[in-house]
Amino acid sequence: MASTSVDAIAPSQLLHYLPTYRALICLRCSYAIQPGAVARHLKEIHYLHHPSRQAFVDYASGFELNQPNDVVLPDETQFPVPLLPVQNGLASFFAAGCTHLSATTKRMKQDWMSVHRISASDNGGFWDPVPLQSFFRGNALDTLDGLYLSALSGQNWDRDV
């Protein structure tokens, strides 16, 4: 993610609306910006000064944006979502109906302990590698922003990071 100045570019050169998902993607960061957080994102990530931020905030206000929990999610035919990075992740497969995805072994092991009450070994055995995407990222990833998407299942999976 670049944190270079964006003072000299038009809002449409930095922000791209994905109407199918009702999400506004920062093209420099390759993640969606939460509704109401455009100004903070521009200030804290791209160091855009207050007078310059208003054009971007006005631009973003012209779109219908969903909160992270309400983003319209793709089906397996829409994976990967354009403009979002694909990362290596893990999909739980041991328990019937478990739809847990995780970006790290540590988080997968935490899920196994807290949800399934099973201690998972370091080498796994209860999960497989899968490609993942997430619309959002930030400080609250494990509770709000970590909705992962994968083409593996044809469904959307649990929240985790």
pTM recorded for the entire structure: 0.77
Regions in the chain scoring below 50 on pLDDT: 1-3, 139-146, 153-161
How big is the CA angle at 1 (ends 86 and 139), to the nearest 5 degrees? 85
Distance in Å from the first CA to the final CA of the chain = 18
pLDDT on residue 157: 42
pLDDT on residue 159: 42
How large is the C-alpha radius of gyration of the chain? Answer: 17
